[in-house]
């Protein structure tokens, strides 16, 4: 197997020295890089909700590489053999993390999006309800699954995803996210699941 290592990449003004490892001589971390590439959008998708827009991160290759490498390090640390992507923005993160760590990726999708036999869980989220589905044969007993998403809010989405994985006999080794909205206490809802977040809000 050929391993492709990304070249060292500078992020931000010339001379800042931030590299794809997420660290620089100036002490810049993956959290610093992420924070600089997140945009707040007020009253979306409904009044009173502040949406954390990761579009600037996705559009900045060097910053995106830093973040993916950080998540991949987490996946390796947990000994994950499968990465599970939670719809929708989790897809954008989980696929490169799986590639980087050399494991498979499984999509956990909204209801009605997957062919074949599926299993589902309905859950509450901070601005409504939703249903997640996964194909019935997506996970196997013995799989060590890392869930990947962009944000941990109330924990409802992650809890439903965790139930779907465990129902197959696989083990959920942890949840890795870009951001944790600590004021919504999602971590408490998921305890004792291991949770890794690059930054807290």
Give the number of other CB atoms < 10 A from CB of residue 82: 23
SS3 45: coil
Could you check whether the bond before residue 88 is cis, i.e. omega within 30 degrees of 0?
yes
Beta-carbon-side half-sphere exposure of residue 22 (alpha carbons within 13 Å) = 18
Q: Please state, in angstroms and rounded to a whole number, the distance separating the CA atoms of residues 200 and 30.
A: 12
Question: Do strands 144-152 and 171-180 pair parallel, antiparallel, or not at all (unpaired)?
Answer: parallel
Which two structure tokens, joined as six digits, stand for 37? Answer: 């590439």
Catalytic residue among 87, 126, 163, 189: 126
Active site residue 117: no
Active site residue 70: no
Q: Please state, in angstroms and rounded to a whole number, the distance separating the CA atoms of residues 119 and 182.
A: 30
| DSSP structural state of residue 182 | G
Catalytic residue among 5, 70, 87, 89: 89
Instruction: Supply the Cα-derived Rg of the chain in whole angstroms.
Output: 17
Catalytic positions: 89, 126
């Amino acid at each position: 197997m050929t391993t492709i290592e990304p070249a060292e990449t500078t992020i931000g003004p010339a001379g800042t020295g931030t590299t794809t490892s997420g660290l620089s001589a100036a002490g810049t971390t993956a959290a610093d890089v992420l924070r600089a590439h997140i945009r707040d959008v007020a009253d979306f998708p409904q009044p009173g909700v502040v949406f954390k827009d990761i579009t600037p991160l996705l559009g900045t290759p060097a910053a995106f590489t830093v973040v993916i490498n950080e998540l991949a390090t987490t996946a390796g640390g947990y000994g994950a053999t499968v990465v599970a992507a939670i719809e929708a923005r989790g897809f954008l993160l989980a696929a490169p993390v799986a590639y980087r760590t050399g494991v498979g990726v499984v999509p956990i999708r909204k209801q009605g999006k997957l062919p074949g036999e599926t299993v589902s869980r309905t859950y509450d989220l901070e601005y409504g309800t939703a249903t997640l589905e996964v194909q019935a044969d997506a996970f196997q007993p013995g799989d060590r699954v890392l869930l990947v998403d962009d944000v941990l809010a109330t924990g409802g989405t992650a809890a439903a995803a965790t139930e779907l994985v465990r129902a197959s006999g696989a083990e959920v080794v942890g949840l890795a996210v870009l951001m944790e909205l600590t004021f919504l206490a999602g971590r408490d809802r998921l305890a004792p699941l291991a949770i890794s977040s690059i930054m807290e809000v």
